[in-house]
Amino acid sequence: MYMDDYKRWLAADLEDSALTEELRRIEGQDSEIKDRFAVALKFGTAGLRGVLGAGSNRMNIYVVRQATQGLANWVKTQGGSQLVAISYDSRINSDVFAKTAACVLAANGIKVRIYDALMPVPALSFATRYYGANAGIMVTASHNPAKYNGYKAYGPDGCQMTDDAAAIVYAEIQKTDILTGAKMISFQEGIDQGLIQYVGEDCKEALYDAIKARSVRPGLCKTAGLKLVYSPLNGSGLVPVTRVLHDIGIDDITIVPEQKDPDGNFPTCPYPNPEIFEALRLGLELAQKSGADLMLATDPDADRVGIAIKCPDGSYELVSGNEVGVLLLDYICQGRIENGTMPENPVAVKSIVSTPLADAVAQNYGVEMRSVLTGFKWIGDQIAGLEAQGQVDRFIFGFEESYGYLAGPYVRDKDAIIGSMLICEMAAYYRSIGSSIKERLEAIYAKYGRYLNKVDSYEFPGLSGMDKMAGIMDSLRNNPPADFAGYKVVKVTDYLKPEVTGLPAANVLIYSLEGGASVVVRPSGTEPKIKTYFTTLGKDLAEAQAQKDQLTAALKPLLA
């Protein structure tokens, strides 16, 4: 079967000659052909993601056309505006794939609003809502290595597509012939017919205004003299992040020169991921040279932001996503209470794998903390629920340990633009009172206890990888460990049982241990990895780290 598909692609007159060359190169190589054609990239709530190249199991214009035809078939049943918003980041072929999607939609009589230059995830979520669109498309593979690209699909609320809608789109995709099934007109035809239009300046400005409106202490940054190093990691963050920071009064911004311009090859780091040291290394070197107060980096689609802070001894320290989430929650609560802008019955939301320290901080300020499944759409879902009740202003903050933050209901996905703004404002505030982010973090630990949160990943590459991962999860379910490293398991929460958790079913296991530590095991939704999340609590960092190391050693053989 896969060999037939390969021969059909090889015989076809493909518009992208690079794909034909790739197919010729692998002639006679069964494993290479199988890898590209034995399966198709699956369309889910996160859309598509895969390695660039030829075949149904790769990202290319034909896979994008087929997916967009499936999406168009669904949109046509939805009534409403019959419009789709599109944005894209700096990855290889992101602009090509975005325009390809626009051409398919226009050929189906569906209107398109597409950004005239790369813009991040929050801008796509905002435009989807601003134009009352039926759907949104963001062409990105987030922080994956350079050889990947992807296609995220959004619903009319600006949140990633629901399971139900994604299932219908997937069914439509499967009915569409990958090479010939999608309707197409040229991009210019779409523009000439008035079906394809660029996103207007009014929409862009409205996004910036919505972000600046969530400032906790407006005007503070104008006089704080904050010195910043920023890296967009060769992605889409440069224009929106620096625009908002300049607007709030932060002008001393040094951009990491090697990572300033959009470049889908990401030449300075293997993963353009603000969670890893290697991606921040050049920024840290520049911060040390310039004596910056703070170093920020956003990922290619600018929905996540990582930071390094200056310590009292002049060194720089990376701050984890959990720590930034807790710091921002603490800062927003404290500031809004102080300024009288805290809503009644405020709500914050975090994912189930994020630190329980946030629950303690929320409780301290009288904020209801809701825990949801991993994936920012579930945080968006909580905002939508509040909106439906006419109480959307109760939402003050949402975060995930994987460096995603949102403070406000203007979009329904994580937003590194507002994350960057609030982190800088927080740094400026602590500086203005003779303190620092580092000192505040230590004060939080002194008050609530020394929590340590760490994530380990185990990769399962190749076609058999998913089967191995499924086998490991089955084994953990059917033969649950009684203890890890001598720490007794006091409770196992299986998120495949919605009747127990009150949340939609998800392939996640949480082991609560004697003494307050916990271990979470979940397969990644976007990569062939099983992730393990550890929370340990000690009298100091060394004690918390020692327990984490013991737990890792105990878990490792179970994931072999």
Catalogue the active-site residues.
Answer: 142
Strands (E) in 72-204, as ranges, are 83-88, 111-114, 135-139, 148-154, 196-198
Do 259 and 283 meet the contact criterion of CB atoms below 8 Å apart? Answer: yes
What is the C-alpha to C-alpha distance for residues 161 and 383, in angstroms, rounded to an integer?
Answer: 15
3-class DSSP state for residue 152? strand
Residue/partner pairs of 315-321 with CB below 8 Å, 24 or more apart? 316/284, 316/287, 316/288, 317/438, 318/277, 318/280, 319/437, 319/441, 320/401, 320/453, 321/275, 321/354, 321/399, 321/400, 321/401, 321/402, 321/403, 321/404
What is the C-alpha to C-alpha distance for residues 389 and 386, in angstroms, rounded to an integer?
Answer: 5
Bridge partners, residue 137, by sequence = 86, 153
Pairing of strands 347-351, 368-372: parallel
The residue type at 147: K
Tell me the two tokens of residue 442: 């230590």
Tell me the two tokens of residue 400: 């995930």
What is the C-alpha to C-alpha distance for residues 211 and 538, in angstroms, rounded to an integer?
Answer: 37
Reported as type and span, the H/E element at residue 71 is: helix 61-76
3-class DSSP state for residue 389? coil
